[in-house]
Chains A and B, each alone.
Chain A
Amino acid sequence: MSLLHIDNLHASVDGKNILKGVNLSIRRGEVHAIMGPNGSGKSTLAYLLAGKPGYKATQGSVLFEGHDLLTLSPEKRARMGMFLSFQHPVEIPGVRLDQFIRAGFNSLRQHRGEPELDPLKFDRVIKKNAGMVGLHQSMTKRFVNMDFSGGEKKKSELLQMSIMEPLLSILDEPDSGLDVDALRDVANCIKQLHTFENAVLLVTHYQRILNYVVPDQVHILVDGRIVRTGNKDLAHDVEADGYDKYE
């Protein structure tokens, strides 16, 4: 059974049709990349899957582990193992990053019938994982994303992913705004977090991150439809020729 099965998905934002019949199936252990020009609907698909208010499916269906995903609240989707790494993570004054992650982590544990982790034990977990994603531990004591650099914001998203251990990680442009070194760090980290048990849906505009995180399938999204699916070579073609020939 597919972990995620999207069938003929149509969706609108503010009354405007963005997705016009997306079909996509992802199994555990796979990495899929969605590439496309600006405005093709990549982020809309990511937000829609995570349940962002204002993003409405008008037709089609999405099954996540066999459950009808579209009827669930964003927090329930997260508890079922869905994770969205934001392209532009939100700054939250007054809420510390470690407290924020702990609140999410404990609600997932509660959902699984496991006891909450006390702050002391959680501190050890976050320390270990912060080291793994290359984020200085002192950053976890700061307010969520406040005064974080572009790279630190991306690493903070990966830190959250590493602790939540989702079944499906939707990574919305985890490579945007990164220099070469930071891109390599982020990509290596994604590779490390990907196992046979989970899946990654990587949304990107450029091919370069796919040199590190090698996808099983690459989908080209243009004007709300997947117009082409292939293996990693498809990404190279796009890099060489651009999206023009698919439009």
Chain B
Amino acid sequence: MTQISCSSNDSYRSRFENLISKSSQGQPNWLKSLREQSMNRFETLGFPTERKGNEEWKYTDIKNIATSDFLVPYETTLPSSAKKRLRQQGFDKQDFHQLVFLDGFYSAELSSEALQIKGCIIGPLSQAWRSHAVSSSLGTLANSEDHAFTALNTAFTRDGAFIHIPANTKIEKPINIIFLTLEWQDKIATHPRTLVNVGKNSSAIIVETHCSTEETKYLSNAVSEIFLEDGSHLDHYRLQIHSKDAYHIGTTQVRLNQTSKFKSVSADLGGKLIRNNLNIDVAGENASCILNGLYITNGTQHVDNHVTIDHSQPYTNSREHFKGILGDKSKTAFQGSIIIRANSQKVDSHQENKNLLLSSDAEANTKPAFWIYADDVKCGHGASSGELDKDALFYLLSRGIPEKEAQSMLIKGFITEIIESVDCHTYKSHLEDLVKDKLSKMCE
């Protein structure tokens, strides 16, 4: 395995030049110039380490990412540990249409055979750079102009998933995109990218998994761009089970056209410092989205979910429900912004964030923000943080249930409704197992 190192902005530039000279052969000019623009933009923006007066990064300090020396792998080999990890994950090619990326590089060996549906592409971006569907949309939704991590991803991304579903097509089998980070001697950074386009009246289920083979330190800076055409329907299940020393910045940008439906269920169980940006542009009449999320943190884990829903059209709906269970000295933030534009009458939007604190040292922050410029809308929100419900606990005890079991029933029950919102049976039972594992470790 070969690698190059990155630390300060200067070294990011030299590593970028190095990467371009080594890997850009055969890449189209549009991609070269997009990378170059993004690199320039990243240099101008710099890492968002300054938090004074910076509401976007109020709760999350990324100083350790900015000052770390992350190596950028430019090739990788397939170790047996990767296969083992996938088996442990219980992901079977039979149940999913699987796309596997090792340190950001596509692994044909671990991925499923290409799908034989006319006009449908489920494969690596690296084999589709010359496709018009990629060149016309990559980078148009994810904002490199204002977001340093998105700019960095666009400059450095080597590969990722490309899912293009033509009109009037239902993809029956869930698609599972797995970004697996392997064991390295040094800290590495990967910049996986996903581009999804669901055609008119088409539907699909996508699982996006971020994980690693070992408990090592690395940065995963992922960006997904998702386009939903008129009348289409996408369920997007994002699972983050990184190493306990990993940093993860994940950005998901979605655009919803008329009458399209988008459901997202995110689960953050792993990682050391996690920042998720989920930005939904509800850009077509009668479009709707359900954004659910759960996070379970312990030790000194830090998870920050930053969700923005922009209702730019009338008769659109959104439902947001994020729940967290916090133990030890972990810290979480939920920042939910809802924008309702002036012409967007009859918007119906609701946001909810609830946290269960299992330790007095844990800290859950909630910051809702609403910008409402239309007058005939429904918009509600609720937030709460607290310990286990003592009355509920007594109710269980009064039926003879042992205290430990009663507590774990209540803790598990707290996030059950989020898990229940997953509509894919195979993934749901996988998620249930992972949640049970993590909770049993926390309640030992």
Query: Nearest chain-B residue to A99 (Cβ)?
Result: B409
Docked Cα-Cα span, A173 to B403, in Å, equals 27
| Shortest distance between the CB of A207 and any CB in chain B (Å) | 27
Docked Cα-Cα span, A231 to B394, in Å, equals 34
Query: Nearest chain-B residue to A104 (Cβ)?
Result: B399
Type the 1/0 row for A69-95, where 1 means its CB is closer than 8 Å to any CB of B.
000011101110001101001111111
B400: Cβ under 8 A from any A Cβ: yes
Instruction: Please determine whether B416 and A104 come into contact, CB atoms closer than 8 angstroms.
Output: no
Instruction: Please determine whether A73 and B397 come into contact, CB atoms closer than 8 angstroms.
Output: yes
Instruction: Please determine whether A107 and B394 come into contact, CB atoms closer than 8 angstroms.
Output: no
Instruction: Please determine whether B394 and A95 come into contact, CB atoms closer than 8 angstroms.
Output: no
Which of A8-16, A21-29, A36-44, A50-58 makes up part of the contact surface?
A: A50-58
Docked Cα-Cα span, A74 to B410, in Å, equals 17
From 377 to 397 in chain B, residues with beta carbon under 8 angstroms from any chain A beta carbon are: 389-392, 394-397
Contact size range, B: 20 to 34
Instruction: Please determine whether B399 and A95 come into contact, CB atoms closer than 8 angstroms.
Output: no
Chain B residues with Cβ below 8 Å from A77 are: 398
Q: Which residue from A79, A89, A107, A143 sits with its C-beta under 8 Å from B395?
A: A89
Instruction: Please determine whether B416 and A94 come into contact, CB atoms closer than 8 angstroms.
Output: yes
Interface residue SS majority, chain B = helix
Given known A-B contacts A90-B391, A93-B417, A94-B417, A107 and B402 have beta carbons under 8 A apart: yes
A100: Cβ under 8 A from any B Cβ: yes
B28: Cβ under 8 A from any A Cβ: no
B114: Cβ under 8 A from any A Cβ: no
A92, A99, A111, A164: most-surrounded residue (chain B CB, <10 A): A92
B85: Cβ under 8 A from any A Cβ: no
Instruction: Please determine whether A78 and B417 come into contact, CB atoms closer than 8 angstroms.
Output: no
Docked Cα-Cα span, A160 to B396, in Å, equals 11
Docked Cα-Cα span, A73 to B414, in Å, equals 25
Instruction: Please determine whether B413 and A93 come into contact, CB atoms closer than 8 angstroms.
Output: yes
Instruction: Please determine whether A84 and B398 come into contact, CB atoms closer than 8 angstroms.
Output: yes
A103: Cβ under 8 A from any B Cβ: yes
Instruction: Please determine whether A95 and B405 come into contact, CB atoms closer than 8 angstroms.
Output: no
Instruction: Please determine whether A164 and B414 come into contact, CB atoms closer than 8 angstroms.
Output: no
Query: Nearest chain-A residue to B396 (Cβ)?
Result: A100
Query: Nearest chain-B residue to A109 (Cβ)?
Result: B400
Given known A-B contacts A75-B402, A103-B405, A107-B402, A92 and B397 have beta carbons under 8 A apart: no
Q: Which residue from B395, B400, B402 sits with its C-beta under 8 Å from A92?
A: B395
Chain B residues with Cβ below 8 Å from A104 are: 396, 399-401
Query: Nearest chain-A residue to B414 (Cβ)?
Result: A94
Given known A-B contacts A53-B394, A90-B392, A93-B417, A160 and B410 have beta carbons under 8 A apart: no
Given contacts A75-B406, A89-B395, A104-B400, 11 further A-B contacts (CB under 8 A): A51-B397, A78-B397, A90-B391, A90-B394, A92-B396, A93-B413, A94-B416, A95-B416, A100-B396, A103-B396, A108-B400
Can you show 14 pairs from A to B with CB atoms below 8 A apart? A75-B398, A75-B402, A78-B400, A90-B392, A92-B392, A92-B413, A93-B416, A94-B412, A95-B413, A95-B416, A104-B396, A104-B400, A107-B402, A143-B413
